[in-house]
Structure 1
Amino acid sequence: MGQALKQLTMSMAYIAAEELNFLWNLAEVREFDQFWQYGIKHGRSPEQLIIEAAEYFDRDEDEIIILVICRKRKGKI
């Protein structure tokens, strides 16, 4: 791909939610899984757990939602 075409393609690209942080270290992910499973076991709703996890992990609720989707798809929660 020529440089001009590459620049044009990149200038037309849209990166969704680039202001959010979707990186988690493995210890945080394991802690999140335990946090989530404990909350569900004790009657917390997913909506409530998202809010609580955002506060606990000092993350945006949308970052928590994406982690929930990822962990659910992998069968971890």
Structure 2
Amino acid sequence: MQYIACEDLNFFWEEKEVMKFEQMWKEGLCITDIATALDRHPNDVVVLVIDRRKKQKIQPRDGGLLGNRLRGVS
């Protein structure tokens, strides 16, 4: 028997969503705020983080997935 991991996640992203994600990542927004803004489950966004980091499109940041600030907090 074979098991398919994460088959319930959405791996499809529009280019504009990826660009918006990258900007929010740079701004330090937490992963849940990014997910809310993109109308995605946080797990979908985590997969995008892995992809964009592997391709060196985003850099590690203070706070990791949690970021350094929440939406609306300076």
Matching residue within 2, 23, 34 for 2:12: 23
Partner of 2:46, secondary structure, is helix
Superposition TM-score, scaled by structure 1 size: 0.67
Larger relative contact order (C-alpha < 8 A, sep ≥ 6)?
Answer: 2
Q: Give structure 1 stretches of 5+ with no counterpart.
A: 1-11
**Larger radius of gyration, structure 1 or 2?**
1
Structure 1 stretches of at least 4 aligned residues deviating more than 6 Å after TM superposition = none
More helix by share: 1
How many residues end up aligned between the 2 structures? Answer: 58
In 1, distance between residues paired with 2:35 and 2:27? 16
Unpaired segments ≥5 residues, structure 2 = 59-74
* TM-align CA RMSD: 1.3
Give the percent of matched residue pairs that are identical in Structure 1 and Structure 2.
45
Could you tell me the TM-score, scaled by structure 2's length? 0.69
